[in-house]
Amino acid sequence: MKTEALKPNSEFLKKARKQRGLILISIPFFIYFFIFSYLPLWGLTMAFQNYKPQKSFFEQEWVGFKHFENLFTDPDFYRIMRNTLGMSIINLVLGFVTAIAFALLLNELTGPFIRFKKVVQTISYMPHFLSWIIVCGLVSNVLAMDGGILNELLLALGLIKEKIHFMGKPEYFWWIVGFTNVWKSMGWNSIIYLAAITSIDPALYEAAAIDGYGRFGRMIHVTLPGIKSTIIVLLILNAGWILNAGFEIQYILGTNGLVLDVSETIDIFVLKRGFGRSGGFAFGTAAGMFKTVVSAVILLLCNKIAGWVGEDRLV
């Protein structure tokens, strides 16, 4: 009996002994991931405590879901969620429409325009690699009151009578964030669609041409349906990140204090409350945990849906 129970085990040991070099290398990595990714999870207990940094873990006072109740009844909570969801939806819709349209148009550049297409692609991917600080600096230059190029352009074209203080008007803020995101990632996001387009059967285009479809018709009736499954899967997957409306651009462009009402997202809320007030650590942790848990649920759901849809469409 004993030897039999040990048998698979000893085989494992034999293999492990042979691979002791690999195991030896793995151990530091295991410890590294444990410390930097799993250990901080322990800190989530703060969300259920009346956390005081100077006290040890065993001296903390447990308060159950008090911080979560405070969060849901917080006067700012509704505003924060509205901003987060509002900007997320704008980013999602604008981001998708522009990236797809851009990919469709790029795809039409063929023959003598192929080198031009390469140039456009190279330039359009570039902003993706710039930091948000740089991008926000550029945005605030372009939209500035004195010398901002957009104001001067609109004035010169006679579209406006006097300069607009874009950065100070709450009604513009979400759109500024949305279009800045488009500027930064439209080219980058189009890569995946361009790749999907290359897998469309060229015979379909010829057939459509014989059927009398023009350039535009082929774009709408061949190219677009050809990448439909990619679009749907990506849309669902991206919808999973709905609570990640962004942090950096809203934080940086919000520093002028004029648009805080519409700029603050849930990440900024966590930062400001967590570090801002005495005793805010526990509340901030609770708010962050709320975001993580809800996000995880939405993300899992969306991944599942994308899986079903993806299989469906690919068959």
Partner 1 sequence: MRKSIGDKIIDWIIVFIMLLIIIVMLYPLWNTLITSFNEARDSIKGSLYLWPRKWTLFNYQSIFKTDKIFKAFMVSVSRTVITTILNVLLSGLLAYVLSFKDFVFRKFLTVFMVMTMYINAGLIPTYFLYRSLGLIDNFLVYILPGMVGAFNVIVIRTYINSLPPSLVESAKIDGATEMRTYFSIIFPLCLPVLATVALWVAVGSWNSWFDSFIYAPKQELSTLQYEMMKILASSMQTGVRQPDYLASSNQTRNMVTPNSLRAAMTMVATVPILVVYPFLQKYFVTVNIGSVKE
> How many CB atoms are closer than 10 A to CB 283?
24
Closest CB 1 distance from partner 1, rounded Å: 25
* List of residues 6+ apart from 156 with CB closer than 8 A: none
Beta-bridge mates of residue 49: 62
The answer to the question of residue 37 lying near partner 1 (CB under 8 A) is: yes
Can you tell me which of 93, 97, 126, 294 binds partner 1, judged by CB under 8 A? 126
Closest CB 90 distance from partner 1, rounded Å: 19
The answer to the question of residue 131 lying near partner 1 (CB under 8 A) is: yes
Closer Cβ to partner 1, 1 or 214, answer by number: 214
The answer to the question of residue 74 lying near partner 1 (CB under 8 A) is: no
Closer Cβ to partner 1, 1 or 111, answer by number: 111
Closer Cβ to partner 1, 94 or 120, answer by number: 120
* List of residues 6+ apart from 251 with CB closer than 8 A: 268, 271
Closest CB 80 distance from partner 1, rounded Å: 15
The DSSP code for 259 is S
| Lookup: tokens for 51 | 């956390």
Cα torsion through 163, 164, 166, 170, rounded to 10: 160
Beta-bridge mates of residue 62: 49
Which residues in 242-301 contact partner 1 (CB under 8 A)? 248, 252-253, 255-257, 267, 270-271, 274-275, 281, 284-285, 288-289, 291-292, 296
Can you tell me which of 191, 220, 232, 260 binds partner 1, judged by CB under 8 A? 191
Widest distance between CA atoms in the chain: 93
The answer to the question of residue 234 lying near partner 1 (CB under 8 A) is: yes
The answer to the question of residue 10 lying near partner 1 (CB under 8 A) is: no
Contact 249, 240 (CB under 8 A): no
Closer Cβ to partner 1, 173 or 281, answer by number: 281
Closer Cβ to partner 1, 87 or 139, answer by number: 139
The CA-to-CA distance between both ends of the chain, in Å, stands at: 51
Q: Write each residue from 296 to 315 as x if it is in contact with partner 1 (CB under 8 A), else as -, in one continuous string.
A: x-------------------
The answer to the question of residue 190 lying near partner 1 (CB under 8 A) is: no
Count of residues touching partner 1 (by CB under 8 A):
90
The answer to the question of residue 212 lying near partner 1 (CB under 8 A) is: no
| 3-state helix/strand/coil string of 209-258 | HHCCCCHHHHHHHHHHHHCHHHHHHHHHHHHCCCCCCCCHHHHHHHHHCC
Closest CB 15 distance from partner 1, rounded Å: 5
Closest CB 22 distance from partner 1, rounded Å: 5
The answer to the question of residue 22 lying near partner 1 (CB under 8 A) is: yes
Number of residues written out for the chain: 315
At 56, give phi and psi (nearest 5°): -80, 170
Interface with partner 1 by CB under 8 A: which range of 60-68, 86-94, 134-142, 155-163?
A: 134-142
Which residue stretches of the chain are H helix? 2-18, 20-33, 66-73, 75-108, 114-125, 132-142, 149-156, 170-198, 202-210, 215-218, 224-226, 228-239, 248-253, 260-263, 266-276, 280-314
Can you tell me which of 4, 59, 146, 171 binds partner 1, judged by CB under 8 A? 146
Closest CB 5 distance from partner 1, rounded Å: 19
